[in-house]
Amino acid sequence: MNIVRNAIPALLCGLMLTSLSASAVEYPLPPAKSRLVGQNIEYVVPADSTQSLEAIAARYQIGLTGMMEANPGVDPYLPRPGKTLIIPQQLILPDTVHEGIVINVAEMRLYYYPKGTKTVEVLPIGIGQLGTDTPVNWVTSVQRKKANPTWTPTAKVHKEYAERGEYLPPVVPAGPENPMGLFAMYIGNLYAIHGTNAPFGIGLRVSHGCVRLRNDDIEHLFNIVPVGTRVQFINEPVKAALEPDGKRYIEVHEPLSRTMEELNSPEPSSLSLSAAVSRFIAKADTDSHIVKQALEDRSGLPTQINP
């Protein structure tokens, strides 16, 4: 619910899967006509833990919002020792082509389908703030790549910083303090997939429209994604999957707020269902109570909705 989104400003002041040296989570592609992959993990916060929820999320390649959706009410600064957390590593693949990079801004995940393999790599991302939103319903490509990128702030960005009493040079030099991090893949005149100097922003709406990744993640992608790779942006807070065994699942995320009033409201954001999802949950064997609860909880966890 909006409780997750509204916590963000304060935060800013394995079966079926394999770790890739903390730089991605790789899933085997499921069988034909299946889109459900992975398994969730239970993690018990150690008795002597001083880790934040973001630190635990980073360990398991999850974004902060994803962890907060799956674990409502958990203290994001210092989860209680002994608390059992759900690490949300089971997911429904987006219902789109399994090619190149697919970015679902609603769930703040990037999917990369390496050519010639039967795998998908899934990475958490940070996206654009309200008013400088990351684009959606857009197909483009990786047009060029650059290590150690510089950053040329726009006039609007200079003004924003000046209003906070901060100064930006005309061009921010390359280096660890650059908001673009150490690697960038450019996907248009205005947008890039890049690293960050603020890793706590992964899984949050923090950028000026670009897609941010943790530094190990962007270095990993930079090294394996060829120039010319297809990149698709979608905005699907609700995903659905009919599995070969007849089980049907939905995965519901909090939709992105569209106005400041909606962002600051204590009420949940309105959730619009696509015609395809509406038909999917209208089947005769659907448990309407489970669907209602999933749409209210918005946990980001795949939920079976039929017997």
What's the pLDDT score for residue 19? Answer: 38
Query: Which range, of 11-20, 40-49, 117-126, 287-296, averages the lowest pLDDT?
Result: 11-20
pLDDT band at 206 (very low <50, low <70, confident <90, very high): confident
Query: Which range, of 46-55, 166-175, 219-228, averages the lowest pLDDT?
Result: 166-175
Q: Mean pLDDT throughout 207-214?
A: 90
Rounded to two decimals, what is the model's pTM?
0.90
What's the pLDDT score for residue 6? Answer: 43
Q: Mean pLDDT throughout 279-295?
A: 97
Would the pLDDT of 26 be above 80? Answer: yes
Would the pLDDT of 20 be above 60? Answer: no
pLDDT band at 291 (very low <50, low <70, confident <90, very high): very high
Q: Mean pLDDT throughout 252-274?
A: 86
pLDDT band at 3 (very low <50, low <70, confident <90, very high): very low
Would the pLDDT of 136 be above 70? Answer: yes
Q: What domains are defined for the chain?
A: 40-88 (3.10.350.10), 100-234 (2.40.440.10), 238-304 (no CATH)
Q: Mean pLDDT throughout 154-181?
A: 87
Write 259-265 long-range contacts (CB < 8 A, 24+).
259/130, 260/130, 262/2, 263/2, 263/5, 263/6, 263/130, 264/6, 265/2
Would the pLDDT of 297 be above 60? Answer: yes
Would the pLDDT of 4 be above 60? Answer: no
What's the pLDDT score for residue 199? Answer: 82
What's the pLDDT score for residue 23? Answer: 61
194 is a catalytic site residue: yes
Given 98, 158, 194, 220, which residue is catalytic?
Answer: 194
Q: Mean pLDDT throughout 167-187?
A: 90
User: Are the beta carbons of 60 and 41 closer than 8 angstroms?
Assistant: yes
pLDDT band at 13 (very low <50, low <70, confident <90, very high): very low
Q: Mean pLDDT throughout 94-123?
A: 97
Q: Mean pLDDT throughout 226-250?
A: 97
What's the pLDDT score for residue 260? Answer: 77
Given 208, 210, 220, 253, which residue is catalytic?
Answer: 210
Q: Mean pLDDT throughout 52-79?
A: 95
Q: Mean pLDDT throughout 270-284?
A: 95
